[in-house]
Amino acid sequence: MNNELLEVKELTTSFRIEDDYYAAVDHVNLKVKKNEVLAIVGESGSGKSAFAFSLMGLHNKAKIEGQILYKGQDIANLPPSQMNKLRGKEIAMIFQDPLSALNPLMIIGEQIEEILTLHQPKLSSKEKKDKVIHLLDQVGIARPEQLYKQYPHELSGGMRQRVVIAIAIANKPELLIADEPTTALDVTIQLQILELIRELKHEINAGIILITHDLGVVAEMADRVAVMYAGEIVEIADIVTLMTNAKHPYTRSLLNSIPTITEEKSKLHVIQGIVPSLKNLPRQGCRFKARIPWISESAHEENPQMHEIAPGHFVRCTCYQHFHFPDQAEEE
C-alpha cells in the first residue's frame, strides 16, 4: 500500500443514554497519510474527542461500528491485549490537559522510562535513561538531566506539555493524535508548543491528526482539514482550498467568526446557536439547517451526501450552493 496510514470507513461511535444508543460520531470517512497533518475542526460537542478516543480504543462503554484500518488492519474493536500493543507505540496521543495526563507521584524521568519499558523491554537502564534525556532535549527542554528528577507539579504548564509530547513520541509512533494540545496553555506558550509539533512532524515522520476548535491553529499546522459538525464530517479539503474557497455554511461561518484587525466588529458573523446535544440531534436531513433558518428548506438535501466538487474537496448537502450570510444576497 502507498503511504496511506489510516483509513476510517463509516465509523460510528454511539453512547448509551437511558435506554438507547446515540451516535456522537456518525458514519465518518477519512484518510491520513504518513507525513501529513490532518486537522479536525469543529465547535465543542461536535464529536472530535469521541472520534479521537475511538481511534485509540479508549472508549469503555461506547458502541463502535465501521472500520478503522491502520496500515490495512481493522483496529476497531480490537481485543484490549492487542490494542495495548499498538497504543503508545504505533499510535500515540497528546491529551488536552498535561497535568491530568501525568502521574503526580512519579518523577518525569521514570514516567518516560515506563512507556519505553512497556514497548521496548530489552533496553538496559542506561539505554533508557539516555533515550529519556534525548527525548527531553528533542522537545526543547534546556536542562534535561535536572528535569528528569522533577515531579509534574514543579513544572510550568508549557514544560508539562513538552513532557507529555516526549512520552507520546518516545516509541516513534507512526500515527500521532493531538487532541487540543494547546487549549490548556497560555497564548505565548501555545505558539511554542505548536512550533514544536511542527518541527517534530519532520523528525518523527508520522501522520498527525490534530484536533482543535481553533482555525488559527489549523492555518498554521494543517495540510488537510476535516470540518466536523454534530458527529458528521461536513467538509474536507486541503488547507489552501479550505481557507480560500470553503463552501459549507458551517465552515464559512467558522471562518467568518474569526475577528481580523481590519474588520469592523459590527460586521463579524457569529454563528447563532450551539451544537445540539446527542439526544436532541435531528438525525434526518441537514444537521446544520436549524442554524441557518434564512436559507430555504428546498436548498437542503433530504439525505445529505458528501459531494466531491473538486479533486479532494468534499462538501456535505447541496445547501452550500444557496448559502449567504443574513446581511448578504444569495451568491449564485
Ligand X SMILES: Nc1ncnc2c1ncn2[C@@H]1O[C@H](COP(=O)(O)OP(=O)(O)OP(=O)(O)O)[C@@H](O)[C@H]1O
- Catalog residues that contact ligand X under the rule CB under 6 A: 15, 17, 24, 42, 44-50, 213, 277-278
* Residue bearing cell 481493522: 74
DSSP letters of 254-321?
HHHTS--TTS-GGG--PPPS-PPPTTT---SS-TTGGG-TTS-GGGS-SS--EEEEETTEEEESGGGG
Q: Interhelix angle for 125-138 vs 157-169, to 10°?
A: 130
CB of 298 to ligand X, least distance (A): 29
CB of 24 to ligand X, least distance (A): 3
Task: Note whether 175 and 36 are within 8 A (CB).
Answer: no
Between 52 and 166, CB nearer to ligand X: 52
CB of 251 to ligand X, least distance (A): 15
Between 46 and 111, CB nearer to ligand X: 46
Between 95 and 148, CB nearer to ligand X: 95
Give the distance, in angstroms, between the CA of residue 253 and the centroid of all CA atoms in the same chain: 20
* Beta-bridge partners for 238: 224
**Helical H runs in 149-186?**
157-169
CB of 225 to ligand X, least distance (A): 15
Which residue from 206, 249, 261, 213 is spatially nearest to 35, judged by alpha carbons? Answer: 206
CA distance 66 to 59: 15
CA distance 171 to 86: 10
Between 19 and 302, CB nearer to ligand X: 19
CB of 122 to ligand X, least distance (A): 38
Between 108 and 211, CB nearer to ligand X: 211
CB of 10 to ligand X, least distance (A): 18
Between 36 and 232, CB nearer to ligand X: 232
